[in-house]
Structure 1
Amino acid sequence: MAKRKLTALNVQLKLKILNEVDHGTEKKAIAQQFGIPKSTLSTIIKNREKIIHAAASGSGNKSKRCRTVKYEKIDTILLEWFSHMRASNIPLTGPVIQSKANDIAKDMSIKDFRCSAGWLSRIQRRQSISSLQICGEANEVDEESANNWLHEFYRVREKYASCDVFNMAETGFFYNLFPNHTLGAKGDKCHGGARSEQRVTVVLCCNADGSEKFRPWIIGKSGKPSWFKNINMDTLPCIYSHHQKAWIDGTSFGKWIFVSTGDMFFLR
């Protein structure tokens, strides 16, 4: 059997392949047309967003040509809709934008328009639209109230030295949770099981200049954990207390506030 010649596919060629997929061409026919195995086609489809982003940023293009915009009215209406959606903090993906562009063309009775992957990459490049990582919940915060609170905080903060300003933070520690990535031999099937919900709460506190740090406070579910058997808990490098859900409750927090400065922490 003749050895198949390996050919590197550039971004533009991958966009053409995605365009054929968008037109509903059978995958077998696409693979034959471009001389690629089905596995390569599957990888290209899987990496659609990365390919479109690479094309929009100009990555992989040896040359660039200036082209006039054929459907300028569609661009204008689509960008107005895009700006409105993002102002409302609504996430948008490539396929969603393509679907909207096709709807706009249909409403304008433009029959020869089809929003392909290539068209999407070009409008992204023209309008400097790129893929962004969604993080946080910014819209859940009242920015004006937050700024007013900060202003009041700084006013009060000026009265105290850094050594007298403390910050406490809590975090959940899932000590029995397996990692969500693994190494394995090629061809191995990787399946995940039920993820452990066993956790403790870890509380840390120190002052602004770092001169005073409290012992970590660990909150578990059991009042007398088996692993503490025959151990003097007062000798632990941390403070331990318990709660039925391993949370901080009002009573324990009140005790922490009252006695923490002397590190005489008796919650057990």
Structure 2
Amino acid sequence: KSRHCKHPEMEDALFMWFTEVRGHGAAVNDEMLLEKGHVLGERLGVQDFAYSKGWLANFKSRWGISHHRLHGEAASANMTAIMAGHAELQQTLADYSPDDIYNFNETGLFYKLGPSGTLATVPVAGHKKSKDCITVALFCNASGTDLRKPIVIARAKRPRCFGKTFQPTLYTEYFSNAKAWMTSVIFQEIICAFDRDLRLQGWHCILLLDNTSSHAVTGLQLTNLKLHFLPPCTTSSIQPLDAGIIRAFKALYRCQLVQLYVNRAEEARIQTVDLCQALQMIRLAWRNVTATTVKNCWHHTGILPCDNAVTATTTDEHDEDDMTLAEIQQLIHQLDPVAGPNAATEYVSIDREVETMQELDDDTIVDIVSTSREESCDGAENDVDGQDKSEPEPEPAPVTAREACAALASAIRFYEGAGNVKALDSLWDMLSELQQQRHITQTDIMSFFKKNK
């Protein structure tokens, strides 16, 4: 018989604390759970509740927590551990093809941060660099054939820039909490959705993960997806996304961002972006990460068995990354001719050390749980603290089919003059599809019966 808990926010907070301390390898017993549940319950305003052994048993059953005996200590980060991790992964992955082996990881992104220098006729006052940060989670397979939709975690459930019509899920999977961090609740929702997609396709895969508290899957029942956690303290050496895939994604994102800032400087407009534009650029940057880059990064980690290893291309693995950095460097010089030769490299790596899931204290746990509950009660259009509270620009009127056709026709004329055949093919396909939709007429119901006599 399914029983629902009386205080879900308190149990969410307690499980968040439990996964955090277990992520650090700490031992937890029943007495500690009861004591911490009482402390967090008081912080959340829970009254007249008996933190009994019966409630604790139900709590552990609901979250799939059981007793396990500890076995030794975690290995330190050294070459021995890395070599052992290689051997373990090669054995584990021997039964999977590169198409069926995935890696998942998060990174912080300063999505508004532009270059620091600019051209001017007179000295200009400095301004605070935008450090508005979101968490971007990426996952892909070893063959580079499946770069799944990027996942973005921001601070607002529905920022004002979204208006009433913008749909973030067209570009990314979108989540929110007070700190814009990955949590075990969000992670489990992502993994369950992936497992459901695999089950519908009759496909079995394995997913490699680093062993952080936000990746807790206690009690999760998966049918077509196997989770394999990388050895502690080795992920910087053997995790494919950390081997250059995330860096390539960020380089492509920042290339778009600097180009946008150059265009706005030429148009005398404010150099900034909102979250809508950031989601669009994130999707485009992730789509432009090539299969060659992905395969080379997986190959260089050395974790794939020889029989199933992806073949590294003969092209220098750094060529694509170098071209993107060169383009960023050129754009930065348009804004600041005295920028140093390493300006692009430093700019791309500026948020490399940003934490996507910091250590959680009681205040942070209560803040995350309380904010999530307030948003679910107050509706989808509320902002949370820290978001841009300025008045949004007036929302443009919906574009009609006639206007869209005219715009595509203008774009076709532009690319005809530029001689860009690839762009022309895509534009003609879109124009043809739109024109067909415009001319679809509803048939008379009697004609249906006449046709089927």
Question: Which TM-score applies when normalising by structure 2?
Answer: 0.25
* Greater RCO (Cα-Cα under 8 Å, separation 6 or more): 2
Question: Which TM-score applies when normalising by structure 1?
Answer: 0.41
